[in-house]
Structure 1
């Protein structure tokens, strides 16, 4: 049972990353080398399977943030986190398609998004304290920017897979801009799957 679930998650992650969320459950079963019924014994619907994969990716981003919390250079830690975050998005075609789907209202996914924002806020707070970034930047801003950077570069990625690095650098320059006025809108508090498609 555990082995089949692991096979299914691996096959589904690869299939969705390559082709997006329209991949059929039958194809996923074929890739995993199991019967189609086995897929539904582990995941009642495609939405449940997508939620499980989304949780894996969110956990990967949270781990990346947590692992950088003790770094001496908070600005470099934030840069490394954002680089890792956009790299994850650029490598997975399905993630941005999935995260904001209205039907994906799993409590575990909402909780993981909250944890990701908390982890990003911890990194961002250290960078603010060291004077490395604008004083009005929050962790939620950073999480939103991950998706924004990826979406900006998305039309280029098939031909230029590393194009996102250009837009990441532009975003990082904006975060660290010294002597600028206050941003014109209040910072976001929390991300909600019902009102955004993030990251």
Structure 2
């Protein structure tokens, strides 16, 4: 892809993500194009449909979260890094619930979303493994567990996020305390082997 095409695609994705977060999924392609400083024709040269644009934005956001997690692997305290990753994921979902709702089950089966989801789960597992090895979380917690628990915090607090925007931190702290090994008891069933159907924000990551 030529440098100008790469630049236009980046401008488009950033503009579309901002417009969707501010105005929801009904925002027009014309408005997105205007914010990006490009023509509508350029939008459709990159994405034939609005659904394809939504998929690209969602995949881009998942990859951004994966990059955040990879950077956190360098933090000296593994449990702190894992908690910060979980907090970043909840914040991402709550900031753009309209996109979360737009990514349907059919969309989640798209290869680009599946690949981004797989990368995210791998990063979650790497962060969790560090915390397990350091004895900072229970030894039966997996990256898949972490992704589902992130979704639990988001879903549980979304109905009151407008009136109590920081309440999710309370429940994330409660959940994270439950991951610590001090009072761990055997779990009744194992962790899931795959999260493919669940990887979409709002349903969520």
Q: Which residue of 2 aligns with 1:89?
A: 93
- Give 1:99 deviation, angstroms: 4.4
Q: What does residue range 78-157 of structure 1 map to in structure 2 within 5 Å?
A: 78-157=82-161
**Are 1:102 and 1:193, in contact at CA under 8 Å, matched by a contact in 2?**
no
Structure 2 vs 1, CA of residues 72 and 2 (structure 1 numbering), >3 Å: closer, same or farther? closer
Q: Which residue of 2 aligns with 1:178?
A: 182
CA distance in 2, matches of 1:163, 1:136: 28
Q: What does residue range 70-81 of structure 1 map to in structure 2 within 5 Å?
A: 70-81=74-85
CA distance in 2, matches of 1:184, 1:99: 32
- Give 1:195 deviation, angstroms: 8.7
Q: What does residue range 153-172 of structure 1 map to in structure 2 within 5 Å?
A: 153-172=157-176
TM-superposition CA deviations, 1:22-67 (whole Å, max 9, x none): 3332332343344433321211111211111112211111111111
CA distance in 1, matches of 2:141, 2:173: 16
CA distance in 2, matches of 1:66, 1:195: 19
SS at match of 1:185: coil
CA distance in 1, matches of 2:168, 2:61: 19
Q: Which residue of 1 aligns with 2:204?
A: 198
Structure 2 vs 1, CA of residues 104 and 129 (structure 1 numbering), >3 Å: closer, same or farther? closer
**Are 1:18 and 1:93, in contact at CA under 8 Å, matched by a contact in 2?**
no
Structure 2 vs 1, CA of residues 92 and 181 (structure 1 numbering), >3 Å: closer, same or farther? same
- Give 1:177 deviation, angstroms: 5.2
Q: Which residue of 1 aligns with 2:42?
A: 38
- Give 1:146 deviation, angstroms: 1.4
Structure 2 vs 1, CA of residues 28 and 161 (structure 1 numbering), >3 Å: closer, same or farther? same
Name structure 2 gaps, 5 residues minimum. none
Q: TM-score, normalised by structure 1?
A: 0.88
How many aligned positions are there? 199
CA distance in 2, matches of 1:55, 1:194: 14
Name structure 1 gaps, 5 residues minimum. none
Segment of structure 1 superposing worse, 94-103 or 156-165: 94-103
